Amino acid sequence: MDQRDEQEFAAYFAARRDAVRRTAYMLCGDWHRADDLAQTAFVALHRRWKKIRDRAATDAYVRTTLVRASIDESRRPWRREWQTETLPEPADDTPGLDDLVATREDLLAALKEVPPKQRAVLVMRFFEGLDVTSAAQALGCSEGNVKSQTARGLANLRQVLEREVETNG
Protein backbone atom coordinates (compact mmCIF):
# COMPACT_ATOMS: atom_id res chain seq x y z
CA MET A 1 0.00 0.00 0.00
CA ASP A 2 1.15 3.49 -0.66
CA GLN A 3 1.39 6.27 1.92
CA ARG A 4 -2.07 7.70 1.18
CA ASP A 5 -3.74 4.28 1.60
CA GLU A 6 -1.90 3.71 4.87
CA GLN A 7 -3.09 7.08 6.16
CA GLU A 8 -6.70 6.37 5.11
CA PHE A 9 -6.61 2.99 6.80
CA ALA A 10 -5.07 4.47 9.96
CA ALA A 11 -7.80 7.12 10.08
CA TYR A 12 -10.53 4.49 9.61
CA PHE A 13 -8.96 2.27 12.26
CA ALA A 14 -8.75 5.11 14.77
CA ALA A 15 -12.36 6.10 14.15
CA ARG A 16 -13.90 2.61 14.26
CA ARG A 17 -11.64 0.66 16.65
CA ASP A 18 -13.83 1.01 19.75
CA ALA A 19 -17.10 0.31 17.94
CA VAL A 20 -15.71 -2.84 16.32
CA ARG A 21 -14.34 -4.01 19.65
CA ARG A 22 -17.74 -3.49 21.34
CA THR A 23 -19.48 -5.42 18.59
CA ALA A 24 -16.96 -8.23 18.96
CA TYR A 25 -17.62 -8.29 22.70
CA MET A 26 -21.35 -8.59 22.09
CA LEU A 27 -20.67 -11.54 19.80
CA CYS A 28 -18.41 -13.49 22.15
CA GLY A 29 -18.92 -12.08 25.67
CA ASP A 30 -15.23 -11.91 26.53
CA TRP A 31 -13.07 -8.78 26.16
CA HIS A 32 -9.90 -10.75 25.43
CA ARG A 33 -11.56 -12.74 22.65
CA ALA A 34 -13.21 -9.52 21.45
CA ASP A 35 -9.76 -7.95 21.05
CA ASP A 36 -8.62 -10.99 19.05
CA LEU A 37 -11.72 -10.89 16.85
CA ALA A 38 -11.36 -7.15 16.24
CA GLN A 39 -7.70 -7.61 15.37
CA THR A 40 -8.59 -10.41 12.95
CA ALA A 41 -11.18 -8.17 11.27
CA PHE A 42 -8.80 -5.23 10.95
CA VAL A 43 -5.96 -7.39 9.62
CA ALA A 44 -8.30 -8.79 6.97
CA LEU A 45 -9.43 -5.26 6.14
CA HIS A 46 -5.82 -4.04 5.88
CA ARG A 47 -5.01 -6.82 3.42
CA ARG A 48 -7.92 -5.81 1.20
CA TRP A 49 -7.84 -2.04 1.76
CA LYS A 50 -6.50 -1.24 -1.69
CA LYS A 51 -9.13 -3.45 -3.37
CA ILE A 52 -12.13 -1.88 -1.62
CA ARG A 53 -13.73 0.43 -4.16
CA ASP A 54 -16.74 1.57 -2.14
CA ARG A 55 -15.41 3.02 1.13
CA ALA A 56 -19.01 3.37 2.38
CA ALA A 57 -19.20 -0.43 2.46
CA THR A 58 -16.16 -0.75 4.72
CA ASP A 59 -18.22 -1.05 7.90
CA ALA A 60 -20.26 -3.86 6.35
CA TYR A 61 -17.06 -5.66 5.32
CA VAL A 62 -15.63 -5.36 8.83
CA ARG A 63 -18.90 -6.58 10.42
CA THR A 64 -19.05 -9.56 8.08
CA THR A 65 -15.44 -10.46 8.81
CA LEU A 66 -16.07 -10.06 12.53
CA VAL A 67 -19.11 -12.34 12.53
CA ARG A 68 -17.40 -14.99 10.44
CA ALA A 69 -14.32 -14.91 12.66
CA SER A 70 -16.53 -15.25 15.74
CA ILE A 71 -18.37 -18.25 14.32
CA ASP A 72 -15.11 -19.86 13.16
CA GLU A 73 -13.58 -19.31 16.59
CA SER A 74 -16.57 -20.87 18.34
CA ARG A 75 -16.10 -24.02 16.25
CA ARG A 76 -12.56 -24.56 17.46
CA PRO A 77 -12.28 -27.61 19.72
CA TRP A 78 -10.47 -25.79 22.52
CA ARG A 79 -13.39 -23.34 22.81
CA ARG A 80 -15.87 -26.02 23.80
CA GLU A 81 -16.80 -25.94 27.44
CA TRP A 82 -17.79 -28.87 29.60
CA GLN A 83 -20.79 -28.67 31.88
CA THR A 84 -20.37 -29.95 35.44
CA GLU A 85 -22.85 -30.53 38.23
CA THR A 86 -20.69 -29.03 40.98
CA LEU A 87 -18.89 -25.74 41.07
CA PRO A 88 -15.17 -25.79 41.84
CA GLU A 89 -15.71 -23.51 44.84
CA PRO A 90 -18.77 -22.57 46.90
CA ALA A 91 -20.69 -19.49 45.83
CA ASP A 92 -20.52 -16.37 47.97
CA ASP A 93 -24.04 -15.36 49.05
CA THR A 94 -23.21 -11.80 50.08
CA PRO A 95 -24.70 -9.15 47.77
CA GLY A 96 -22.20 -6.88 46.10
CA LEU A 97 -21.59 -4.65 43.15
CA ASP A 98 -22.70 -7.38 40.76
CA ASP A 99 -26.28 -7.02 42.02
CA LEU A 100 -26.25 -3.41 40.88
CA VAL A 101 -25.46 -4.36 37.30
CA ALA A 102 -27.42 -7.62 37.24
CA THR A 103 -29.61 -6.71 34.30
CA ARG A 104 -26.71 -6.10 31.92
CA GLU A 105 -24.74 -9.07 33.19
CA ASP A 106 -27.79 -11.34 32.92
CA LEU A 107 -28.35 -10.20 29.36
CA LEU A 108 -24.71 -10.78 28.38
CA ALA A 109 -24.67 -14.17 30.10
CA ALA A 110 -27.91 -15.15 28.38
CA LEU A 111 -26.53 -13.96 25.05
CA LYS A 112 -23.58 -16.33 25.48
CA GLU A 113 -26.00 -19.28 25.67
CA VAL A 114 -27.64 -18.45 22.34
CA PRO A 115 -26.15 -20.36 19.36
CA PRO A 116 -23.47 -18.37 17.47
CA LYS A 117 -25.44 -17.64 14.29
CA GLN A 118 -28.49 -16.52 16.24
CA ARG A 119 -26.26 -14.43 18.50
CA ALA A 120 -24.68 -12.81 15.44
CA VAL A 121 -28.10 -11.88 14.06
CA LEU A 122 -29.25 -10.50 17.43
CA VAL A 123 -26.11 -8.41 17.81
CA MET A 124 -26.37 -7.06 14.27
CA ARG A 125 -30.08 -6.27 14.57
CA PHE A 126 -30.43 -4.95 18.12
CA PHE A 127 -26.98 -3.80 19.23
CA GLU A 128 -25.66 -2.55 15.89
CA GLY A 129 -29.11 -1.24 14.88
CA LEU A 130 -29.10 -2.79 11.41
CA ASP A 131 -32.36 -3.48 9.60
CA VAL A 132 -33.13 -6.92 8.15
CA THR A 133 -31.69 -6.09 4.73
CA SER A 134 -28.42 -4.67 6.09
CA ALA A 135 -28.02 -7.55 8.53
CA ALA A 136 -28.56 -10.04 5.70
CA GLN A 137 -25.88 -8.30 3.62
CA ALA A 138 -23.46 -8.17 6.54
CA LEU A 139 -23.98 -11.84 7.35
CA GLY A 140 -24.06 -12.99 3.73
CA CYS A 141 -27.45 -14.69 3.96
CA SER A 142 -31.04 -14.11 2.88
CA GLU A 143 -33.45 -11.73 4.60
CA GLY A 144 -35.69 -14.70 5.42
CA ASN A 145 -32.78 -16.35 7.20
CA VAL A 146 -32.17 -13.20 9.23
CA LYS A 147 -35.86 -13.06 10.19
CA SER A 148 -36.01 -16.71 11.23
CA GLN A 149 -32.69 -16.54 13.10
CA THR A 150 -33.91 -13.39 14.87
CA ALA A 151 -37.13 -15.09 15.94
CA ARG A 152 -35.30 -18.23 17.13
CA GLY A 153 -32.59 -16.20 18.83
CA LEU A 154 -35.12 -14.05 20.71
CA ALA A 155 -37.03 -17.17 21.75
CA ASN A 156 -33.82 -18.76 23.05
CA LEU A 157 -32.84 -15.54 24.81
CA ARG A 158 -36.26 -15.34 26.49
CA GLN A 159 -35.97 -18.97 27.61
CA VAL A 160 -32.56 -18.40 29.15
CA LEU A 161 -33.65 -15.19 30.87
CA GLU A 162 -36.85 -16.78 32.22
CA ARG A 163 -34.80 -19.68 33.57
CA GLU A 164 -32.50 -17.12 35.25
CA VAL A 165 -35.49 -15.31 36.83
CA GLU A 166 -36.96 -18.60 38.08
CA THR A 167 -33.63 -19.66 39.53
CA ASN A 168 -32.41 -16.39 41.05
CA GLY A 169 -35.60 -14.39 41.36
Backbone angles phi, psi at 54, to 5 degrees: -100, 100
Please, which residues have CB within 8 angstroms of residue 157's CB and are 6 or more apart in sequence? 110, 111, 114, 122
pTM above 0.85, yes or no: no
Q: Which residues contact 132 (CB under 8 A, 6 or more apart)?
A: 125, 143, 146, 147, 150
Per-residue pLDDT of the chain (169 residues), as tens digits, is: 789 889 999 999 999 999 999 999 999 888 999 999 999 999 999 999 988 888 888 999 999 999 999 888 777 766 556 666 776 666 555 544 445 445 777 788 888 899 999 999 999 998 888 999 999 998 999 999 999 999 999 999 888 888 766 666 5
pLDDT at position 73 is: 79
Amino acid at 50: K
Kind plus residue range of the DSSP H or E element containing 36? helix 31-48
Cβ pair 148, 102 in contact under 8 A = no
Is-contact 52 12, C-beta < 8 A?
Answer: no
DSSP 47: H
